[in-house]
Chains A and B, each alone.
Chain A
Amino acid sequence: MNFELSSEQKEIKDLAFKFAKNEMLPHAAHYDEKGELPFDILKKAWELGLVNTCIPVEFGGTGFSTLDSILITESLSYGCLGMNTAIMANDLALLPIVIGGNDEQKKRFLTPFTESYKMAAFCLTEPGNGSDAAGIKTTIKDEGDHYLVNGQKMWITNAGFADLFTVYGTYDSGLKHKGISAIVIEKDTPGIEIGKPEKKMGHSCSDTRSVTFKNVKVPKENLLGKLGDGWKIAMKTLDHSRPMVAASAVGGAQCSFDYAAKYSTERNQFGKPLSGHQGIQFMLAEMAMNIEAARLLVYKSAWLLDQGQKNTQLASSAKAFSADIFMKVATDAVQIYGGYGYSREYPVEKLMRDAKLIQIYEGTSQIQRLVIAKEVISTL
């Protein structure tokens, strides 16, 4: 048993953290206020190798382990959850290709992402189907020499700027999840309609829209695996992506804590710093222990995957626990700041808004508990 990161992992984490602190954090409030994607910052992150960490070495990527990747996600999220969402959405869209694509598809779709900064969008959720992903309505119909895609997707990150869309649909809705298939659609394909940017509570600098596919003809060679492989691909993607999202919660929680802890030593009330009051001490202790527990859970869920072991239960545990404690930590951080915390002049208000989304996307905290329960009960 060894809790020490390798020296290389420490360097990766340090680099990402330095980038987050120097390049992201100072601009986070500005882009949050404007609701604009910070392309310069995202491109700079890409130049340093901090984006698309899931791409294997053979296709021009860094070939990082899941643990390496989540160390980056944790650090970048310390800088800005919204910017991290824009970065992480790429992995989410590219992972199905890494997991379910053949070599020709990997070369064709992944390599361009290592040559210049591009965005990708993962399209699963629909207006009528969020948590109940198996009930999706988008259809992928075999038309002989191509597939015809029809349907509408909701809350699609990066949609307005994406070069490719990884889309889930069903070729036969009667088959439920067994009918689900995954297909890659390039942005210039006729029939794609991109909606207006959504106005969100947090993660404001990330781009979120609806995407509608109207009789979109997609080449046959863009289907990942075969018809009906989609569900399996999606589930495997989640095993990778849930630890990532969980790591972003740890980074955000750490940032909230650092602000609150520092503030508590600077602000005096009743003749002594806030940190000298037991009530505040209890809050700080609670925050610190929850963050560390979440971090260990997240690292283990990633490590399991890297060991080739099944991590479904821990990935969901990490995702639910981290998201929930981030919400709690960020709320307490605002509480410690008091009136200032509620003001946009101070950074914790944004963190609290950003935290909420982590309990919702990539499977709500409730869905994670259902997954955990199913895994637990199946072993009885």
Chain B
Amino acid sequence: MNIFVCVKQVPDTETKVTPNGDGTFIETNSIKWIMNPYDEFAVEQALLLKAAVAGSTVTVVRVGSVQDTEALRTALAMGADEAVLVESEDNLDSYMIAKSLKGGIEKSGKTPDIIFTGKQAIDDDCLQVPQLLAQMLEMPSVSVVVGFEHADGKVTLKREIEGGATEVYEVSAPVLVACNKGLNTPRYASLPGIMKAKRKPLQQLSLGDVGVSADDRRIKYSNFQLPPEKPPGKKFDAMDEGNQASVVAEVVGLLRNEAKVI
């Protein structure tokens, strides 16, 4: 089975994000990059599937800068077999990324049976690439997946929707699966895994190699800014049992009459 995983490198969730000087993007100087957290579930599911289906390979594909290839190296150290890197700046839009990933997958020389991605990247939070990529490759996709079972060439997928409900899908390969938290517990890359990863093949491609150019840009961002700070709120001390009831009554009154949300 040819298993593919698409991963993205994003700023660590604890990173303080600030707009750059001219508001065209964020300040990237002091950012610590990590693998997109949702992509860890994708890598783990790919490795679990590889272990279950003899003769499978896991190829991990990433579009982004070569400066720091954290996400790819982590995936290889976790156990992926090979990697494809499409080199680009870090601010491509979803359409360009999907098209680059498609090119990267095609250049790998393997036809995908199943593609895993995270349900979204926590940098631009667009939630577009999985579905776009599936559409470009003319395969079905299921997103926000929290359950995965594979038997007899078919996969049964659970997709989380509103109200904690889940939709159950049964699909034959090829299919793209966009993974959510709760699907599995991603493994750590072990130290022997890190050492082995160095010797695993990494194919490096340019945007030109995968047929992507500036004309493919669909989305233009500008005017990056911090969200407006709220004016300070009202604070009430209710540690003392004596005044708790009156504080609560006052706050409920404010919610009704001042904020008008109740």
Contacts and interface: CB of A to CB of B under 8 A. Distances in A.
Interface of A: 7-8, 11-12, 14-15, 18-19, 47-50, 62
Nearest to B190: A48
Contacts of A19: 188
A62 B195 contact: yes
Nearest to A15: B189
B190 A47 contact: yes
Query: Is chain B's interface secondary structure helix, strand, loop, or mixed overall?
Result: helix
A152 to B, nearest CB: 37
Query: Is chain A's interface secondary structure helix, strand, loop, or mixed overall?
Result: helix
When A and B form their complex, which 7 residue pairs have the shortest distance between CB atoms, in order from nearest? A49-B191, A48-B190, A11-B194, A49-B190, A48-B188, A49-B192, A62-B191
B73 A11 contact: yes
Contact of A48 (B74, B191, B195): B191
Nearest to B188: A48
Q: Choose among B73, B74, B191, B194 the residue with the greatest number of A CB atoms under 10 Å from its CB.
A: B191
B77 interface: yes
Contacts of A18: 188
A47 to B, nearest CB: 7
Interface of B: 70, 73-74, 77, 188-192, 194-195, 198
A15 B191 contact: yes
Nearest to A47: B190
A15 B192 CA distance: 12
A359 B74 CA distance: 36
A47 B190 CA distance: 8
Nearest to A22: B188
A48 B194 CA distance: 10
B73 A7 contact: yes
A8 B189 CA distance: 12
Contacts of A47: 190
Nearest to B74: A11
Contacts of A48: 188, 190-191
A207 B195 CA distance: 32
Nearest to A63: B195
Contacts of A11: 73-74, 77, 189, 194
A12 B192 CA distance: 10
A14 B197 CA distance: 15
